[in-house]
Amino acid sequence: MNMAAAAAAASSCTTTNLLVPPFQVPSHRRLPNISYHFSFSSSNSTSTSTPPPLPFSITATDNTKKKKKKTTRRMKMSSSASGSQGLYSAADQFELTPENVDLVLQDVRPYLIADGGNVDVVSVQNGIVSLKLQGACGSCPSSTTTMKLGIERVLKEKFGDAIKEICQVYDEQIDETTIEAVDGHLDILRPAIKNYGGSIQVLSVEGGDCVVKYAGPESIGLGIKAAIREKFPDIANVVLTD
């Protein structure tokens, strides 16, 4: 074939683009959300000198819409009516009973015991809570401050308006300093010492010296010394022994 004949054959070729919906792509090769468009070429040329191109082409279009994942973080915050959070939230308020008052006071007892004191629930009646500061806390000049800023605040945060008044009950004065008196005074610390796996026993009281057999945390041992000296002013020296 000469150049003129080749040009004439090329000019006689036409290309037709067809969208063929009936054509089915095998299911095992089909991708989701993909549309297939087929373009067919037709030619009137019968020349075989040059291999013709493929009679059709396939164009695949991905119709999948990508969705953005939206993440929302939710934070739960609680606050008291005054706008500041205390030791407890209002949602956790208990019924005002002697047992619940004693339970709440477990949070402040470690601080009192470290100073040689403790607190006991005497009674809870008609919204009036009677408490007795024991040990060094009972005779300390700042016992009123301890009651107002520490214990009273915790109880009001926990029980709210159910508490009408908090009263401090004072212990009777002991005139004589004996082993029995000192050992009985230490009863206020024994529950806490037992919880820590310790024990305590007064061995002797003589000439301003008090010897105590003690096993337990060192911080509570310091509180024991302070409790004895505060309650019995004539005891100047407290010795803890194993």
- Joined together, the tokens standing for residue 218 give 């060192």
Neighbouring-strand partners of residue 144: none
Of the CA atoms within 13 Å of residue 77, those in its CB half-sphere come to 8
* Across 28-53, average pLDDT: 51
Assign 139 to helix, strand or coil.
helix
In terms of Cβ atoms closer than 10 Å to its own Cβ (0-12, 13-18, 19+), residue 112 is: buried
- Does 28 have pLDDT greater than 90? no
Give the residue, 153 or 68, on which the prediction is more confident. Answer: 153
Q: Is the pLDDT of residue 169 over 50?
A: yes
Whether 228 and 238 have beta carbons less than 8 Å apart is answered as yes
On the question of pLDDT at 47 being above 50, the answer is no
Q: What is the largest CA-CA distance in the chain?
A: 140
* pLDDT band at residue 80 under the 50/70/90 scheme: very low
If we measure between CA atoms, which residue out of 93, 113, 125 comes closest to residue 220? 113
Class for the domain spanning 179-241: alpha beta
Let me know if the fold of 90-168 is the same as that of 179-241: yes
- What's at 231, amino acid-wise? K
- The fold for domain 90-168 equals GMP Synthetase; Chain A, domain 3 (3.30.300)
pLDDT tens for each residue of 49-59 = 455 554 544 45
Q: Are 127 and 162 in contact, with CB atoms under 8 Å apart?
A: yes
Cβ contact 16:41 at 8 Å:
yes
229 vs 221: CA distance, rounded Å: 13
pLDDT in tens, 184-229: 888 878 887 888 888 999 999 998 899 999 998 888 888 888 889 8
Give the residue with greater pLDDT, 145 vs 16: 145
Q: What pLDDT does residue 33 have?
A: 54
The share of the chain scoring above pLDDT 90, in percent, equals: 13
What is the value of pTM for the model shown? 0.37
Asked if 53 and 41 count as a contact pair (C-beta separation under 8 A), the reply is: yes
**Sheet containing strand 56-62, strands side by side:** 14-17, 34-42, 56-62
Beta-sheet strand order (sheet of 237-241): 199-206, 209-215, 237-241
pLDDT averaged over the chain?
69
Distance of alpha carbon 138 from alpha carbon 133, whole angstroms: 5
Region 153-160: mean pLDDT is 88
Query: Could you state, in order of their start, the residue ranges of all structural domains in the chain?
Result: 12-62, 90-168, 179-241
SS3 135: strand
